Structure 1
Amino acid sequence: MIDQSRSRLSHHDVWRRWKEDGDSDAKKQLIEHYLPLVDYVSSRMAVGLPKNVSKDDLVSNGSMGLIDAIEKFDYQRGLQFETYASWRIRGSIIDGLRQGDWVPRSVRDKAKKMEDAYAVLEQRHLRSATDEEICDYLNISNKDFQQMLQEVAVATICSLEEPIREEESETRLSLLVDEKALNPEFKVHETYLKDSLAQGIEKLTAKERTVVSLFYYEDLSLSEIAEVMSLSPSRISQLHSKAILRLRAALTKQKDQLLQK
């Protein structure tokens, strides 16, 4: 494993030996050095997933993502590898879960119905839809609504963590501006998307905004957020699900508007 005490120059040299000389030992060193990142990301993503999803499977898929990140990363651009690799690891885990059909079609259908309900009602009232309004729209009881939130939690846990572009670390959540991007059409689209997401976040309830901030920006797990907010983990999961459904509805609306232009 790469010694943590090595200078940045030494670490840069390991990348050079791998990228420019094709040194397999250097690649092995990089993999061993960043393996703890796989365990960290896997542990965070395991929160809220069904019990039948094996942590070992998450780590296995995540490791493939790490290797892919090491193979594709351009160390000369001066970017933070940990950030780039985290999204590649998450993406690899998500791909593995999808291939394993980890979310039943019935749950996906429920998530889509709820997302559509938020989109329609919030467009109609120009404000955040209440739980009661969602229940009326879907013609279900509040108890059934709460149950649906619990069921779709696993379908919303990763929805904003997917990269916008294949070889970049930007996600729908971060929407970081790539100063080296030369495509004006993409930049316009990204600006609209960022504005839409910002407007969607403003429409969230105070608790939903807090959950989104702590989970995606402060990097806390759902269980840690539950302790911070003095709420049960299930309640935090529900707040997260509602927030993501609202944001997905906002982004879908923005996408439809762009396609019409």
Structure 2
Amino acid sequence: MTWDAFRRGAAGAAQGEEELRMLWRRFKDHDDPQAKERLVLTYAPLVKFVAGRMNSQLPSHVEETDLISYGLMGLIGAVERFDPERQIKFETYALPRIKGSIIDELRSLDWVPRSVRARSREIERKAAQLEHKLQRAPTEEELAEALGMTLDDFRAAITQISNSSIVALDETWSVSSGGEPLSLIDTIADTGSHRPDLQMEITELRDTLADAIARLPEREKIVIALYYYDHLTLREIGEVLGVTESRISQLHTKAILRLKGRLQGDGEVDRG
């Protein structure tokens, strides 16, 4: 790239940012509906991104177009509530709200059988109990035996839970001393926050989560790191580890169930 081309690209980016600032001022100061519409259209790719990531974890009968429709409601709400004066990027503010809007709509449809949810909670509890007893993460065989299942039945249950999971890290992982639910999303820094007590609890949750991840079996730890920190898809992780996407999905689900059981177990101990 020549220096002139670089300067033109930089000038174009600066011009685009200035146009965005003008749109935000028109909408927030004058409630301009056209400015609002243009802002929604500008940030619409965020909805496509979130819907695409979530769709890869959902059953095949869930259409991505439906997820996009649910996510757009979250985007519109984020545009309406966002304060451009705060020192936070709109993308950071909007992503969890788009994701939350999709999750809320999916849950309202109640498409996950109660038996699957009950089995998921049972595995979470049993994994936490065994880890406390053994002082290490239990193996598949140990978990299956404790649950009174064959190894094949246990793996089939994990696959079923995996196919019905909706972004498990968005769910409540702990409860603050004030009774407020805390999820992993709450660990995203908010420079406009003025709640030092809640920030301390979020920091404690982050530390507890890091400790729980460190205690996972090695392959599950790798899957969590590659998926949530390096943002690889399940298929890409399978290629890295040399196993099928289905096997990676099982490892991911087992890791999430272990982590939830561990963190919720800690919360019960703390509240006792």
- Asked if TM exceeds 0.5, the reply is yes
Structure 2 counterpart SS, 1:14: helix
Query: d(CA) in 2 for partners of 1:257 and 1:191?
Result: 18
Other-structure match for 2:30: 21
Q: Do residues 133 (structure 1) and 142 (structure 2) align?
A: yes
Correspondence list, 1:70-81, <5 A: 70-81=79-90
Q: Do residues 49 (structure 1) and 58 (structure 2) align?
A: yes
Q: CA RMSD in A?
A: 2.2
Distance 1:100 1:242, change over 3 A: same
Q: Read off the aligned partner of 1:136 and give its amino acid letter.
A: E
The alpha carbon displacement at 1:185 in A equals: 3.2
Structure 2 counterpart SS, 1:256: helix
The alpha carbon displacement at 1:19 in A equals: 1.4
Query: d(CA) in 1 for partners of 2:203 and 2:270?
Result: 11
Kindly indicate whether the alpha-carbon contact (under 8 Å) linking 1:48 and 1:157 is maintained by their aligned counterparts in 2.
Answer: yes
Deviations 1:28-72 (A, max 9, x none): 111111111111111110113112212221111011111111111
The alpha carbon displacement at 1:92 in A equals: 0.7
Structure showing greater radius of gyration is 2
Correspondence list, 1:171-250, <5 A: 171-172=183-184, 175-250=187-262
Q: Percent identity?
A: 40
Distance 1:178 1:55, change over 3 A: closer
Distance 1:197 1:156, change over 3 A: farther
Structure 2 counterpart SS, 1:76: coil
Q: Read off the aligned partner of 1:206 and give its amino acid letter.
A: E
Distance 1:249 1:89, change over 3 A: same
Structure 2 counterpart SS, 1:75: coil
Deviations 1:189-232 (A, max 9, x none): 22321222111101112221221122212222222222232221
Query: d(CA) in 2 for partners of 1:153 and 1:99?
Result: 19
Other-structure match for 1:167: none
Deviations 1:81-131 (A, max 9, x none): 112211111111111110111211111011011101111011111211111
Kindly indicate whether the alpha-carbon contact (under 8 Å) linking 1:87 and 1:162 is maintained by their aligned counterparts in 2.
Answer: no
Query: d(CA) in 2 for partners of 1:136 and 1:123?
Result: 16
Other-structure match for 1:65: 74
Distance 1:113 1:163, change over 3 A: closer
Q: TM-score, normalising length from structure 1?
A: 0.89
Kindly indicate whether the alpha-carbon contact (under 8 Å) linking 2:220 and 2:252 is maintained by their aligned counterparts in 1.
Answer: yes
When structure 1 is superposed on structure 2, of 192-201 and 249-258 the one drifting more is 249-258
The alpha carbon displacement at 1:5 in A equals: 6.8
Other-structure match for 2:6: none
Q: Read off the aligned partner of 1:249 and give its amino acid letter.
A: G
The alpha carbon displacement at 1:178 in A equals: 3.7
Kindly indicate whether the alpha-carbon contact (under 8 Å) linking 1:153 and 1:241 is maintained by their aligned counterparts in 2.
Answer: yes
Other-structure match for 1:121: 130
Query: d(CA) in 2 for partners of 1:29 and 1:122?
Result: 52
Other-structure match for 1:33: 42
Q: Read off the aligned partner of 2:121 and give its amino acid letter.
A: K
Q: TM-score, normalising length from structure 2?
A: 0.86
Kindly indicate whether the alpha-carbon contact (under 8 Å) linking 1:66 and 1:88 is maintained by their aligned counterparts in 2.
Answer: yes
Aligned residues: 254
Other-structure match for 1:259: 271
Kindly indicate whether the alpha-carbon contact (under 8 Å) linking 1:118 and 1:249 is maintained by their aligned counterparts in 2.
Answer: yes
